[in-house]
Structure 1
Amino acid sequence: MPVLVFGSVNADLVFALPVLPAPGETVLAPGYATLPGGKGANQAVAAAQDGAPTAFAGAVGDDALAEVALRGLREAGVELGRLAWVPEPTGCAAIAVDRAGRNLILGGSGANQSARAAQVEDAALNPDTVLVLQREVPAAENAALILRARARGARILLNLAPAGEVAPEALRALDLLVANEHEAAWLAGQLGCGADAASLHRALGVGVAVTLGEAGAAAATAAGPLRVPAFPVRAVDTTGAGDAWCGVLAAALDRGLPLDAAMRRASAAAAIACTRPGATMPRAAETAALLG
């Protein structure tokens, strides 16, 4: 179980629109797609499809949407023994995507708020494990799991998405913090530092990677700064790009790739994800082909 993801799992309703609606405006789509989603589940699928043995811990409701939400995890072969079934409805998101691939997302957390760190046993948090977390489950549960994982020597990656509070002691217990430009700017405002990877690294004392869209990604660790370019593609839907980046990064680190090579592979996977509707994660062979 080298990659263990603790996080959210949703059913996504995806609407392809000519333009994103303004406040008070109705924009009709000819139809919609019902897809599995949630940042945690997406990242687990991305890691598994990139070849890493992957397990997922989260929560769903005992309802029809649970089968939609879990479909991607099951098809990717993700181990689900730590999944909780709870009385709350399964998490759901409505995603509007315009012709330029830009999105607008509304999410209902539902069962994701019942995910608990206790679903992950201590034995799973060992030096062979890459633990991946995001911010769509309770912050206190994330913090509790991060601190337990730190004490047991697991490698810990937190995706600061969506931007929001993380206990300071948990932030400083990470091996790598991943954020996009908006999330990095939010965190920089909280810390009183610059929003670039180097400034955040100095403020926190942990590795930081900042994804920069078409400008690629930058990282800063104790070993020094890194920068990788983006892979130019024609974007159809950017919804799952960040999740592809994080999941494939975790899989690459689990295989022993150095951070720069892992970031390059993650950037290739994110580019492929942008060319597809919904949060559709690439397979290892597709990513390898883009890398050449």
Structure 2
Amino acid sequence: MLASLGEPPEVTMRRILVIGSYNRDTVLRVPRFPQPGETLAARALDRFHGGKGSNQAVAAARAGAAVSLAAAIGTDEAAEAALALWAAEGIGAASVHRRAGVPTGEALILLDDRGENEIVIVGGANATLAPEEAVAALGVSALVLAQLETPVEATLAAFVAARAAGARTLLNAAPAQVLPEALLDATAILMVNETEAERLAGRSGAPADLAAALASRVAEGVVLTAGAAGAWWAARGAAPSHVPAVPTDVVDSTGSGDAFAGAMAAGLAEGLPIEAALRRGATAGALACRRLGAVPSLPRRAEILALGG
């Protein structure tokens, strides 16, 4: 039982397992994105912890959840930094596997003056996470959260085992790609942005329509995030509902989606209804836009609750 900051001790958090990536992020701040063939001078260079899996694990832990991580890293300096991060955040790393001779994942991020970003990822050790390693990490987790920066086969195996054990599965289908139907069948809640929703649906459309179209392919429903336009929840057989965005000043949007996913997962692990968990996620996502860097921007539980999440 984990008592959360600012709340009565009877609040209980069920354990979350995050299956996902760790990347060392190199952020180049540029006035605008370069055109093809153009050389553009960056104004600054910063390095941060990153990777959607690690970011979402940190976001969920800071939102008050008990979190463990299944991941693969190298034996380099970036891997040592990752282990130190997870230890500092109270994230269980017993199911993090180290690979000799394989580099820890890397990401190059261009950040422009509007706070928008473009990202290129080198998977490295992330691409080596095996299905049996992901399944072995399940333990007593009540909710399993995954993304698409580690092998789909590992996530599928863990989701099938988790569903058989009665655990809830939450898939953040990012980066955008076509998914096997078996993975969607094993997914309770699907989280996508507009681009990812269009890729999975095979068409464009209004956010509410896309969410509704995808809801029939998963067990519970779909969360579709749309930045300043807010988010939509579409359950199977029900009309979509809208969660407004929280107004914010955008400094860097890099970690906002991960903050949303992690805080929403923490809310679900706490037993909140889906729309209350969505509001918590939307609040965390807005707070994450206010600071530079993915992990430095991820808000803590007290900040989220103070803003009404």
Correspondence for 2:225: 211
CA distance in 1 between counterparts of 2:181 and 2:203 reads 11
- Deviation at 1:165? 3.0
Note if 1:90 corresponds to 2:104: yes
Provide the C-alpha distance between the structure 1 equivalents of 2:123 and 2:302, rounded to a whole number of angstroms.
Answer: 33
Structure 2 counterpart SS, 1:196 = helix
1:193 deviation in Å? 12
In structure 2, distance between residues paired with 1:65 and 1:123: 22
**Equivalent residue number for residue 267 of structure 2:** 252
| Aligned position for 1:234 | 249
Q: Does 1:268 align with 2:283?
A: yes
Given that residues 225 and 231 in structure 2 are in contact (C-alpha distance below 8 angstroms), is that contact kept between their aligned partners in structure 1? yes
Cα separation, partners in 2 of 1:18 and 1:90, compared to 1, 3 Å:
same
- Structure 2 contact 216–237 (Cα < 8 Å) conserved: no
Q: Which residue is equivalent to 1:145?
A: 158
CA change 1:3–1:203 in 2 (3 A) is: closer
Deviation at 1:203, TM superposition (A): 4.4
Instruction: Report the CA distance between 1:192 and its aligned residue.
Output: 11
For 1:165-184, what per-residue CA distance to the aligned partner results, in whole angstroms no more than 9, with x for missing partners?
32212201211000000000
TM-score by length of 1: 0.93
Does 1:282 pair with 2:299? yes
For residue 72 of structure 1, report the CA deviation from its aligned partner: 3.5
Distance (Å, rounded) in 2 between the aligned partners of 1:276 and 1:223: 39
| Displacement after TM superposition at 1:62 (Å) | 0.5
Displacement of 1:146 in angstroms is 1.2
* 1:52 counterpart = 2:69: no
Partner of 2:180: 167
Question: Which secondary structure does the structure 2 equivalent of 1:32 belong to?
Answer: strand
From 75, 79, 83, the equivalent of 1:62 is 75
1:249–1:265 CA contact under 8 A, matched in 2: yes
Task: Write the distance in 2 (CA, Å) between the matches of 1:184 and 1:162.
Answer: 11
Q: Unaligned regions of 5+ residues in structure 2, if any?
A: 1-13
2:73 and 2:97 in contact (8 A); partners too: yes
Deviation at 1:206, TM superposition (A): 3.9
Following TM superposition, by how much is the alpha carbon of 1:123 offset from its aligned partner in structure 2, in angstroms? 7.8
Question: Is 2:13 the partner of 1:9?
Answer: no
How far has the Cα of 1:129 moved from its partner? 1.4
Q: Which residue of 1 aligns with 2:213?
A: 199
2: distance between equivalents of 1:85 and 1:60? 5
> For the Cα contact (< 8 Å) 1:36–1:70, is it kept in 2?
no
Count of residues paired in the alignment? 291
Contact kept in structure 2, 1:191 and 1:203, CA below 8 Å: no
Q: Distance in 2 between matches of 1:80 and 1:123?
A: 10
TM-score with structure 2 length normalisation? 0.88
Alpha-carbon separation, structure 1, partners of 2:247 and 2:84: 30
Q: How far 1:234 moved relative to its partner?
A: 1.2
Residue 41 of structure 2 corresponds to which residue in structure 1?
28
* 1:119 Cα deviation after fit: 2.1
Give the whole-Å Cα distance in 2 for the aligned partners of 1:204 and 1:265.
Answer: 22
Deviates more, 1:223-232 or 1:161-170: 223-232
1:154 to 160, 167, 171: 167
Determine the structure 1 residue equivalent to 2:8: none
Higher mean Cα deviation, 197-206 or 79-88? 197-206
Q: Which moved more, 1:96-105 or 1:60-69?
A: 60-69
Asked whether the 8 Å contact 2:212–2:236 carries over to 1, the reply is: no
Measure the CA separation in 2 of the matches of 1:222 and 1:255.
23
Structure 1 residue 258: Cα displacement: 0.4
CA contact (8 A) 2:189 2:219 kept: no
Per-residue displacement from partner, 1:48-96 (whole Å, max 9, x unpaired)? Answer: 0001010001011011121334443232111100000013100000111
What is the one-letter code of the residue matched to 1:177? L
CA RMSD of aligned residues (A): 2.2
Post-superposition Cα deviations, 1:127-165, rounded to whole Å, max 9, x if no partner, equal x51100000011111111111111111110000000113
Distance 2:124 2:164 in 1: 31
Partner Cα distance (1:123, 1:12) in 2: 26
Q: Which amino acid aligns with 2:127?
A: Q
